[in-house]
Structure 1
Amino acid sequence: MGAVKTKRMPRAVREQQMLDAAVRIFGRRGYTAASMDEIAELAGVSKPLVYLYLNSKEDLFTACIRREAKALTGAVRSGVRPGLPADRQLWDGLRAFFAHTGEHPDAWSVLHLQARTHGATFAAEVTAMREEIVAFVTQLIVVAAREAHRNPDLPEREVAGLAEALVGAAESLAAWANATPGVTAREAAETLMNFAWAGLANLMADRPWTPPEEPEAPEAPGELGEPVAQPG
């Protein structure tokens, strides 16, 4: 009998194995400390094969960012069901966000920490992902606000800042949740809903918080053309 031939692994599958290994190493060791030797060993391939498939450490890191950013935005979008009340859509979106970042802590480390601190090219990749999520949250809030205010022309800029603040809070909370043992995705989402929705609900009901009026500053001597008294 002849020797049994092993089935060659498709390139796409092998490449995903390399990316899986790279995300784990980059996420745990950081971009600078991570080595291609470690990544190749964890992926079960030779280092030359990693270079053949992904060209360089920089290109490998970029590929990791793009894959994980796509996975995160996809998880958030698929977690939200259109047609539900705004608070339920926000709740579902937050649960999907925290579930994904909690289940993939190395990927979140790559996106939230490593990519932002190792050069403008990497940061730009994460910025594009963040802008997509902010735009998605903005649309969710503005649709609810237009319905609540019975104003179909309410401009997006009225709620754009809220979406930015909400996404920023979610990012920080995800990092905290991943570093705090025992915090579940549901608990993280509930924390942010309790923090944010009270304010959003008041806005939907046209009851925004307004700052107190500033007292008028006293006029300084000599204002309005009045002569300034000179000392005797």
Structure 2
Amino acid sequence: MPRAVRERQMLDAAVRTFARHGYRAASMDRIAELAGVSKPLVYLYLHSKDELFTACIRREAGALVAAVRAGVEPGLPADRQLWDGLTAFFTHTAENPDGWSVLHSQARTHGEPFAAEVAAMRAEITAFVNHLIGDAARAARCDPHLADREVAGLGEALVGAAESLAAWANDTPGVTARDAAATLMNFAWPGLENLMKGERWSASAGFRPPAGSARTPGPPAP
């Protein structure tokens, strides 16, 4: 059997084992048995449990980033690109729950170097989202002062929300990838659209009173 095929079998078995039993409880014996190979062969190909886990993280991270990028067609309106990207993200995490568990739950809880591998994946997706938001703001030509720092903050918030929502969707029966994407679009897009139009929420503008109630005078806003 070609080495690449054998390694893929081992990584498939490892991802499933790490996701379902946790990094510490996962054994090389269990992984070898699930892959249909001997334990010495696993060590020959992937050297150690740490290196095997790192290889799993890199493979799953690369697949997720590739899925998101492939799902977005440049040149479409910003809201359509964001929708397509979110749908691709949630579709991939739903279709690969073990891989998402390795990235979102296991890798982050066992320190370096595993957390750094996930951080690199997250940074790549966040940069992609930042680029999309920045391009959309420039295309709107309504707010040339949307600062890079503000764009970066929006990207971080959006990616963080997507990660949490993906974990929730995978654990909640009946929630589809499109459901999750629509939830996040309804939460995020109105605010992003307002920013691109130069319309910012500000505490100094005060808060609206509840509908049907009179506004009670208060101290001036800071």
* TM-score where L is the length of structure 1: 0.86
Correspondence 1:132 to 2:124: yes
Matches within 5 A, 1:49-88: 49-88=41-80
Per the alignment, residue 204 of structure 1 pairs with 196
Q: What 5-or-longer segments of structure 1 have no aligned partner?
A: 1-8, 218-232
Aligned residues of 1:146 and 1:153 also touching (Cα < 8 A): no
Residue 151 of structure 1 and its aligned partner are, at CA, apart by 6.1
Alignment pair present for 1:104 and 2:96: yes
Q: How many residues align?
A: 209
* SS across alignment from 1:32: coil
Are the counterparts in 2 of residues 149 and 206 from structure 1 also a CA contact under 8 Å? no
* Shift, 1:96, TM fit: 0.1
Give, in angstroms, the shift of residue 119 of structure 1.
Answer: 1.6
| Same amino acid, percent of matched pairs | 75
C-alpha distance in 2 between matches for 1:150 and 1:179? 40
| Partner amino acid, structure 1, of 2:30 | E
Alignment root-mean-square deviation, CA: 1.6
Q: In the superposition, relative to structure 1, how do residues 151 and 210 fare at CA in structure 2: closer, same or farther (>3 Å)?
A: closer
Residue 201 (structure 1) shift: 1.0
TM-score by length of 2: 0.90
Q: 2:182 aligns with which of 187, 190, 201?
A: 190
Contact kept, 8 Å, 1:101 with 1:108, in 2: the verdict is yes
* Per-residue Cα deviation, 1:6-34 (whole angstroms, up to 9, x for no partner): xxx00111001000000000011110111
Specify the code of the residue in structure 2 equivalent to 1:11: R
Q: Deviations over 1:76-111 (max 9, x none)?
A: 000000000000000000000000000000000000
Secondary structure in structure 2 of the residue aligned to 1:212: helix
Find the aligned partners of 1:181 and 1:23 in 2 and give their Cα distance: 22
Deviations for 1:23-72, whole angstroms, at most 9, x for unmatched residues? 00001111011111110000000000000000000000000000000000
Residues 96-141 of structure 1, C-alpha deviations (whole Å, 9 max, x = no match): 0000000000000000010000122100000000000000000000
Cα deviations by residue, 1:187-210 (Å, 9 ceiling, x for unpaired): 000000001011111111111111
